[in-house]
Each structure stands twice: as structure tokens, then as C-alpha cells.
Copies of this chain bind each other. A is one copy, B any other.
Amino acid sequence: MPVPSEIARILGTEGDVRVDFIESEALAKNPLGDPSTRAVAVYLPPEYDAQSSRRYPTLYVLHGYTGNVGALISSRPWETNVLQWADQLVRTRRMEPAIVVLVDGFTRLGGSQYVDSVHNGKYATYTVRDVVGHVDANYRTIPTEGGRAVLGKSSGGFGAMHLVLEHPGIFSAFASHSGDSYFRYAHFPAFATVHRMLEAHRFDLRAFVEAFEAKQKRGMPEYTTMEMLAYAAAYSPAGAAAFDIDLPFDRETGEVRNDVFERWLAFDPAERVSSHRSELARLRLRYLDCGRRDEYNLDIGARVVTRRIKDLGLTVRHEEFDDDHRNVGYRYEVSMPALVEVLDKE
């Protein structure tokens, strides 16, 4: 019987947890200067090693904004992280055994939104090609569309929707927990805060970021500003150089710049699903949920996405619950078994 990793012992999982470090070609020499070597955490179900030839369906988990693999596998007393949920579900036979992969989409600005950006690098390509390729090559996955699903929370939920729309054929199901959508309600209200903060830094984005990084503690407006810079870097980059970003508001007054915000909306699942029927139709499960007190109004976003997918004649599993945006990891208890159920098994 193999020795479980230190991480698995700390997490208290019966299944093992491996952390690999891969060299991503897609992220090589990215303009923002983030590392192209990335951690990939892989949870293997308890029986994995004993049944030495069986292959397993695989769930790819995308973290939210400010997250990375280290944060996703972190554990805290009284809390259950995504791998602990997976392990608990498998151990109690509420979910069939599956491999669970944690993907690292962090950037210097706090997150890539898992999109290919001339400013950040190709995070969509990195995910669907480099990470999936590594996992299929090194673990006994079912290495086909039918064997893979993608899910995530917040920006990770956005990423899940983005990847199934942008790269059909990789995943056959997605789950978006409190995923970014309907940017008009989710992001637009933050622009005034960001305008004030950046004005105080004379709109020198590099100066703002360096000041942010140098601080031991930051206030909420600073985090909000960084977050909007990350979205702008993903949705409205200006060029292939760090901080060469178009902002979605006017520098002088702070009012919205519709020409830039339209570029954001081109990535908004709420605006986008209607024109992607074929990509959505090939999926076996379309799952969205959100707390009905979500601070970013993503409950409205999930409703809009759901409504528009249904208008295409497709089904959606859509759930709401009485909670806000934070610490809704317990929803994995619902989504992960549902995803695994529709995936191919051996």
C-alpha cells in the first residue's frame, strides 16, 4: 500500500493528493511576467492504486479570483475544501470514484479568468491543452470529452462556462457556482470605486500594483481595484506589455466607456450563450447555482444565463440557496456527484 502524501495526511483524505509542477508552453514568456511553471494538484480516489488499470472520469476545478492551487488545497478546522468534499463524497459512496484536478490560473493581477489575453497570456489554451494534456498523460483518466467536466466558483465558475463555449470538445459538462455573469450588475457598480483609487495613483497602473504588493494589509477598495484591473487585463487588453490595459471608464469623470465595456460584455456568459447553441448542446450537464444574497448579484446572472440557455431549447440545472458569495464550498456536495454521474466510467 503506497504511502499517502503529507498533503493528503494534513487534509485527512483517504484518497491521495499529488502536486505536480508543469511547464506550460502556452504561458511561456507571457507579457505580464508570471511563471510558466505551474502547480497542478491531483486528487486520486482511495482505490486508485489498488485497482491498477482502471481509468476514472476527471473533474477540473478552477479557483476564484485571488486564488491559486496553494489556496485551494489549504485546509482550516471546521471547513471542508474541495478535495475534502470529493473524498468525503467518494468515501460515503454518494459519488462514484473520480480524479479531481486543481488548476492554477493566478496572475500578478490576481487571476486570469482562464481566457487567452494578449496582455496576460493564453490561460484558456494552457488549461485545455497543457493541464489536461499533463493529467491525461500521467494519470489513469478517461482521456476524452466524455470523461471530463469542469467546474469552479466565482471567477472559476466563469472560467468553466468560458472554456465550454470557447473550446468545445474538451469537457462534456460544467458547473458554475456563483460564477461571474451579467457583468452589468456584477462588475459595473465597482467602476466608481476603481476610478477614485486609480485617480489617487494618477492612473499609473504599475504604480498602483506595486504599492498594492508592497503593503502588508490592503483595504477593500484596493482589492476591488486590483480585481477590475484583472478583468480589464483579460477582457480589454490594449497590448502585449504589462499594464497596457484599456479601462472601462473615463479618466476625467469616471463615467463608463461603452466602447471598452462592450469588449467586456463580449466575454459575459449572459450576453454570450445565445449565440453558442452548438457548443452548449453537446454538453451532458449544464449546472449553475448561486446564493440569493450574492453581493455581486451573480444570482441574477445565473438566472439570465439559465433563461437564455432554456430559450435555446436546452435544459439547465439551476439552483438557488439562501447565502451570500463567500464560503459556498458546500455546494460541491451537489455539483460534483451530478457531474460525475453524467461522465463516462469504466
Q: Which residues of A contact B (CB under 8 A)?
A: 5-7, 9-11, 18-19, 21, 39, 66-71, 73-78, 106, 110, 182, 184-185, 188-189, 191-192, 195-196, 212-213, 216-218, 252-256, 270, 292-293, 297, 299-300, 303-304, 307, 323, 327, 330
Contact = CB atoms under 8 A, between A and B. Distances in A.
Contacts of A67: 77
A256 B301 CA distance: 11
A10 B69 contact: yes
Given A185-B192, A192-B297, A19 B6 contact: yes
Contacts of A6: 5-7, 18-19
Given A110-B77, A213-B78, A300-B253, A7 B9 contact: no
A176 B76 CA distance: 23
Q: Name the 3 nearest CB pairs between A and B, nearest first.
A: A74-B74, A189-B189, A192-B297
A327 B323 CA distance: 26
Contact of A254 (B73, B253, B255, B300): B300
A217 B75 contact: no
A282 B327 CA distance: 46
A74 B70 contact: yes
A155 to B, nearest CB: 13
A296 to B, nearest CB: 9
Contacts of A255: 182, 184-185, 270, 300, 303-304
Contacts of A77: 66-68, 70-71, 106, 110
A309 to B, nearest CB: 12
Contacts of A327: 216-217
B78 A76 contact: no
Contacts of A106: 77
A192 B300 contact: yes
A39 B19 contact: no
A90 to B, nearest CB: 20
Contacts of A303: 252-255
Contact of A39 (B10, B189, B254): B10
A182 B78 CA distance: 28
A10 to B, nearest CB: 5
A191 B68 CA distance: 33
B196 A185 contact: no
B256 A184 contact: yes
Nearest to A292: B196
Nearest to A215: B78
A270 B307 CA distance: 33
Given A19-B6, A67-B77, A252-B303, A293 B185 contact: no
Given A10-B19, A196-B293, A254-B300, 6 more contacts: A6-B6, A10-B73, A71-B75, A77-B106, A78-B213, A252-B307
29 contacts: A5-B6, A6-B6, A6-B7, A6-B18, A9-B39, A10-B19, A10-B39, A10-B73, A11-B70, A70-B75, A71-B76, A74-B76, A182-B255, A184-B188, A184-B255, A185-B192, A185-B255, A188-B189, A192-B297, A192-B300, A196-B292, A196-B293, A217-B327, A252-B307, A253-B303, A253-B304, A254-B299, A254-B300, A255-B300
